Amino acid sequence: MKNFSILIIFISCFLTANESIAQADNNDTKYTYKRGDYNGIGKWYMGREVAYVMGFQGINWLERSEREIEEDVSTLIKNMEIKTDDTIADIGAGSGYHVFRMAPLAENGLVYAVDIQPEMLEAIELKKRSKRVSNVETVLGSEKSINLPKNSLDKILLVDVYHEFSYPAEMVGSIKNALKSNGQLFLIEYRGEDSSVPIKKIHKMTVKQSIKEMEAAGFRLKENIDNLPWQHCMIFEKKQ
């Protein structure tokens, strides 16, 4: 494994700002605005500062050869217990690193690759054609919506992206709307409780903070599977 500091360097290099994010909306009381972390956007939700989004310039880092070892993606995919007919959405799909590992397992289903950056979706479309994958569909999301139909998804995957949502309340509301009543939300975030994880603090989340924000949106924690090297694998379900 390469030096852990490589991760920190890459994340710092490839963060991009969304100019509209840090502008306060006087009619929106869910969020507060103040200076905070250098890598944050100055917008706070439930005591947590939102981090900058990693831009498409970081796509090579998403596809780095060390990622399987560092994050044990194979185990994460096993944790999802994907069924052949599942309809799944990877929100903040990036380069499609997880998308093309889920698609063969959901061979009779569908995997939506959702991202707000057209450049990321273009990369996925290129890979989709080269691999001749027929059950992957790209979707351009927005800062407030995943743009998928109501009650359409069996599983939703969020890998190290939730903490970058500029409108977390609205996004989770959109996610909840698209998830079936018995569906599962897999929230994967670097462990904020663990200082040994070589990622900047603002790009981590604790279980406590995650539960706080998800419960506010109408979810409950079913399980936190503790078998990944650096990340929490938290499974949330809709409250009944």
Torsion sign, CA atoms 174, 178, 184, 186: negative
Measured at the CA of 23, the angle between CA 46 and CA 35, to 5 degrees, comes to: 60
As a whole number of angstroms, the distance between CA 220 and CA 239 comes to 6
Give the global pTM.
Answer: 0.89
Q: Is residue 216 part of a domain?
A: yes
As a whole number of angstroms, the distance between CA 41 and CA 21 comes to 7
Q: Is residue 181 part of a domain?
A: yes
As a whole number of angstroms, the distance between CA 205 and CA 103 comes to 28
Q: 141: part of which helix (H) or strand (E)?
A: none
Q: Side by side, which strands form the sheet with 31-33?
A: 31-33, 40-45, 48-51
Q: Are strands 179-191 and 48-51 parallel, antiparallel or unpaired?
A: unpaired
Residue-level pLDDT at 27: 59
Q: Is residue 30 part of a domain?
A: no
Q: Is residue 160 part of a domain?
A: yes
- Whether the CB-CB separation of 15 and 42 falls below 8 Å is answered with no
**Number of domains the chain contains:** 1
Q: Is residue 159 part of a domain?
A: yes
| pLDDT per position as a tens digit, 80-136 | 999 999 999 999 999 999 999 999 999 999 999 999 999 999 999 999 999 999 999
* C-alpha pair distances (Å), 24 with each of 35, 171, 202, 211: 12, 18, 20, 25
Q: Is residue 174 part of a domain?
A: yes
Residue-level pLDDT at 61: 86
Q: Is residue 54 part of a domain?
A: no
Print the domain residue range for 183: 65-238
Per-residue confidence in pLDDT tens, the chain, 240 aa: 444 444 443 444 444 434 444 444 545 789 999 999 999 999 999 999 999 998 888 898 899 999 999 999 999 999 999 999 999 999 999 999 999 999 999 999 999 999 999 999 999 999 999 999 999 999 999 999 999 999 999 999 999 999 999 999 999 999 999 999 999 999 999 999 999 999 999 999 999 999 999 999 999 999 999 999 999 999 999 997
CATH of residue 185's domain is 3.40.50.150
Q: Is residue 39 part of a domain?
A: no
DSSP designation for 36: -
As a whole number of angstroms, the distance between CA 120 and CA 137 comes to 13
As a whole number of angstroms, the distance between CA 160 and CA 208 comes to 16
